[in-house]
Amino acid sequence: MQPRIGIRREDKSCWERRVPVTPEDARSLKDEHGVEVYVQPSPNRAFSEAEFRAAGAVMQEDLAPCPVIFGVKEIPLEQFAPGKTYVFFSHVIKGQPYNMPMLQRILDLGCNLIDYEKIADDQGRRLIFFGRFAGIAGALETLWALGRRLAWEGAPTPLTAIRHPHAYRDLAEAKAAVAEVGAAIRAERLPEAVTPLVIGVAGYGNVARGAWEILDLLPIKSIEPEALAALEGGASARHVIYA
């Protein structure tokens, strides 16, 4: 029998667009390794059904023919099937109470669980972890929240134009939107009530570098922390201060 894997539809969060296997991966699995890829339809996934079909994947609701099923986030209890292998972020390795029923269900059905968090190299270093895109999404979400908070406090800023990360079609569209906000800050100035608007980024790893991909689209002015006390609001109204 030809080996098969299934790609489940993500249903934990309405904004979840990630997929564990891309159309390019599906094509490689089929052409180079003889693995059939079955994909559940989804209206939210970053890749379209047409892209998966063009790559040779089988689009269908029923993943019963697949002994191994891949996902991203946790799976509802009623969707596990006896004896199958599931690959996803299970969030159980720390004994998280809210996922113990799911882990018990996996054990009761005699399933195998392969958790992305436990995939490591020979030195025990994780191979799947938060990286650049986590920083990008986190920066967008933070700017979205800040814009609405300031507006709620009676000091609306151009930041209110920023949307949730999942609301953008792709990264290029998100970056274009942030760049427009940056141009508006330069042209319109920030309200005096919120200046100087100061941000900080902790760390220098992949997540931080992803965050800076977004923040650098704003009119950033970098200063030393000890200079913060001397800043005057009006003088920094066309910039976001980084210290």
Please give the radius of gyration of the chain, using alpha carbons only, rounded to the nearest integer.
23
Of these residues, 12, 30, 91, 239, which one is catalytic? Answer: 91
- Of 26-30, 59-63, 206-210, least confident by mean pLDDT is 206-210
**Is 33 an active-site residue?**
no
Per-residue pLDDT tens digits for 138-182: 999 999 999 999 999 999 999 999 999 989 988 999 999 999 999
- What's the CA gap between 73 and 91, in Å, rounded? 9
* Mean pLDDT on 198-208: 89
3-state secondary structure of 112: strand
Q: What is the reported pTM?
A: 0.77
User: What stretch of H or E contains 206?
Assistant: helix 206-215
| Answer CATH for 4-118 from 3.30.420.140, 3.40.50.880, 3.40.50.720, 3.30.470.30 | 3.40.50.720
Q: Which residues does residue 114 pair with via DSSP β-bridges, in sequence order? A: 87
Least confident interval from 117-121, 215-219, 222-226, 229-233: 229-233
Containing 221, the helix (H) or strand (E) segment is strand 220-222
d(CA 41, CA 48): 9
Token representation of residue 149: 């908070």
Q: Do residues 117 and 89 make contact, with C-beta atoms less than 8 angstroms apart?
A: yes
Joined together, the tokens standing for residue 42 give 């989804």
Residues 46, 17 contacting (CB under 8 angstroms): yes
Query: What integer best gives the mean pLDDT of the chain?
Result: 93
Query: Domain limits of the chain?
Result: 4-118, 132-242
**Cβ–Cβ < 8 Å for 216, 136:** no
pLDDT digits (tens, 9 = 90+) for 87-110: 999 999 999 999 999 999 999 999
Distance set, CA 95 to CA 90, 91, 139, 204 (Å)? 11, 8, 29, 30
- Find how far residue 129's CA is from the centre of its chain: 11
| 12, 33, 73, 84: the active-site residue | 73
| DSSP 3-state of 9 | coil
> What is d(CA 41, CA 84) in angstroms, rounded to the nearest whole number?
20
DSSP string, 112-141: EEEEGGG-B-TTS-BSS---HHHHHHHHHH
What is the band of 233 on the pLDDT scale with cuts at 50, 70, 90?
low
- At residue 236, the pLDDT reads 80
Whether 91 is catalytic = yes
Considering the chain, what percentage of its residues have pLDDT values greater than 70? 99
Instruction: Categorize the per-residue pLDDT at 203 as very low, low, confident or very high, splitting at 50, 70 and 90.
Output: confident
Buried b (16+ CB within 10 A) or exposed e, 82-107: eebebbbebebeeeeeeeeebbebbe
Q: State the pLDDT confidence band at 40, using cuts at 50, 70 and 90.
A: very high
> Exposed (0-12), middle (13-18) or buried (19+): which is 113, by Cβ within 10 Å?
middle
Look at residue 242 and tell me whether its pLDDT is greater than 90: no
Polymer length in residues for the chain: 243
Q: Does position 23 have pLDDT exceeding 90, yes or no?
A: yes
